[in-house]
Amino acid sequence: MKKVTGIGGVFFKTNDPEKMKDWYSKNLGLVTNEYGSVFEFRKSDEPDEKGYSVWSPFNNDTTYFEPSGKDFMINYRVENIEDLVQELKEAGVVICDEIETFEYGKFVHILDPEKNKIELWEPVDKVFTVMYEGKTTK
């Protein structure tokens, strides 16, 4: 069974997310939106299909990264999230919440041994294609 298939996103805390998005857009060419920037790539096993990852600055006062005290969170793209969560539970991994389903994929959060919160995402990339076609960082 495939588990992690790639990086789904990098999320980090900052004093001023809008200023940070503007800086990265101006200086590094990121195409930004209300959440940060969506990076588009081609899937290696299915090169006709697009995949996406997200770069997103959060306000310093966000509680989204809790219970971790870190200023960042990594999102990993996964397959078969239900089976993976079951394996992780059996291995004694801390599961922070229940799997949530949205039109663009399924999500769950876990903690690694150093209490870094990790977001696992089983994406529905076609939804991102509709939402962000022509508005991605490539």
Spacing of C-alpha 13 from chain mean position: 14
The pLDDT value given to residue 44: 85
How far apart CA 85 and CA 97 sit, in angstroms, is 11
Q: What's the chain's average pLDDT?
A: 95
How far apart CA 20 and CA 107 sit, in angstroms, is 26
Whether pLDDT at 1 is above 80: no
Residue 5: which H helix or E strand, with range?
Answer: strand 4-14
Question: Looking at this protein, which amino acid is placed at residue 39?
Answer: F
Three-state DSSP class for residue 105:
strand
Mean pLDDT computed over 23-35? 97
Query: Per-residue pLDDT tens for 37-88?
Result: 999 999 888 889 999 999 999 999 999 999 999 999 999 999 999 999 999 9
The pLDDT value given to residue 2: 77
Enumerate the domain spans of the chain. 4-132
Whether pLDDT at 5 is above 80: yes
The architecture of the domain spanning 4-132 is Roll (3.10)
Spacing of C-alpha 20 from chain mean position: 18
pTM of the model: 0.93
Angle at 11 between CA 68 and CA 67, to 5 degrees: 15
Q: Evaluate whether 14 touches 24 at the Cβ level (below 8 Å).
A: no
Residue 87: which H helix or E strand, with range?
Answer: helix 81-90
Give the pLDDT band (50/70/90) at residue 132. very high
Distance between the two ends of the chain, CA-based, in angstroms? 29
| pLDDT > 70 fraction of the chain, expressed in percent and rounded | 99
The pLDDT value given to residue 45: 85
How far apart CA 33 and CA 102 sit, in angstroms, is 19
Q: Residue 33 — φ and ψ, nearest 5°?
A: -140, -165
Whether pLDDT at 22 is above 90: yes
Mean pLDDT computed over 98-125? 97
